[in-house]
């Protein structure tokens, strides 16, 4: 199996192309200032992962910006901190401020010469709009949790995406390489539904799972790269 065997790259965005962990950490600063004890970045991200996943399971049709506000309040309650709706809503609206990884824009521009580029994201459409501007590329399709009414790792998201790819582009699962950082949200369900996948291991230098829950077992993936830039270099080698 080679990168050049595929016709479309389907991307998770947050954690893969957008540095959501830095964005979450920064947007949590008002709450962290009220906790009264020092928490490490990974501790905060781990608490976020737990509450985000639970809330997504409880309210799969809730748009992501609203869900983030609820998650903020859940975390505050766990830490015995009182927060108001305004502060929680500001956190919920923080997605447009989350920065892109330094290599994302150049990598996407290169890869778009060879593939259709598609987003399969857990955020809502409005939140993604600003991230799309940051990424500087016109994606061929964008499929959000808001479109599906479910959040990854639900197979509904992948079934929806594959149905749209067949309908709109006449693309079959064999043409798709799902490209993502999260083993929990993306690689495990991608394998269950029969998709090849490329792991962008953004946390290769870090311990733990960051802002995602740990996957059950060891999900299989077909390619592993430590960055999008490394994926581009691998494609260049195959194409030379």
In DSSP terms, which residues pair with 177 in a beta bridge? 9, 196
For the question of residue 201 being annotated catalytic, the response is no
Identify which of 1, 2, 3, 14 has the alpha carbon closest to the alpha carbon of residue 132.
Answer: 14
User: So what's the architecture of 21-97 in CATH?
Assistant: Orthogonal Bundle (1.10)
The DSSP element (H or E) to which 106 belongs, if any, is: helix 104-111
**Active-site hit among 12, 19, 124, 186:** 12
Domain residues of the chain, as ranges? Answer: 3-20+99-239, 21-97
Q: Does domain 3-20+99-239 correspond to CATH entry 3.40.50.1000?
A: yes
pLDDT per residue, tens digit, the chain (240 aa), is 899 999 999 999 999 999 999 999 999 999 999 998 899 999 999 999 999 999 999 999 999 999 999 999 999 999 999 999 999 999 999 999 999 999 999 999 999 999 999 999 999 999 999 999 999 999 999 999 999 999 999 999 999 999 999 999 999 999 999 999 999 999 999 999 999 999 999 999 888 899 999 998 888 999 999 999 999 999 999 998
């Amino acid at each position: 199996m080679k990168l050049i065997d595929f016709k479309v790259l389907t991307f998770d965005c947050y954690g893969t192309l957008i540095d959501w962990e830095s964005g979450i950490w920064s947007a949590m600063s008002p709450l962290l200032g009220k906790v009264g004890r020092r928490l490490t970045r990974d501790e905060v991200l781990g608490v976020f992962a737990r509450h985000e996943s639970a809330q997504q399971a409880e309210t799969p049709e809730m748009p992501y910006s609203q869900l983030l506000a609820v998650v903020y309040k859940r975390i505050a309650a766990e830490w015995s901190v009182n927060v108001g709706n305004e502060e929680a809503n500001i956190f919920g609206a923080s997605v447009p401020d989350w920065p892109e990884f330094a290599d994302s824009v150049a990598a996407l521009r290169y890869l778009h010469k060879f593939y259709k580029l598609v987003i399969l994201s857990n955020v809502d459409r409005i939140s993604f709009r600003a991230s799309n501007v940051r990424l500087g590329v016109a994606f061929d399709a964008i499929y959000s949790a808001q479109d599906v009414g479910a959040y990854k790792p639900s197979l509904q998201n992948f079934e929806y995406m594959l149905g749209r790819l067949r309908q709109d582009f006449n693309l079959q699962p064999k043409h798709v390489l799902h490209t993502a950082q999260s083993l929990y949200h993306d690689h495990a369900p991608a394998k269950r539904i029969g998709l090849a996948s490329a792991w962008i291991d953004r946390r290769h230098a870090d311990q733990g799972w960051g802002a995602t829950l740990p996957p059950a077992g060891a999900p299989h993936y077909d390619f592993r790269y430590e960055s999008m830039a490394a994926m581009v270099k691998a494609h260049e080698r195959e194409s030379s």
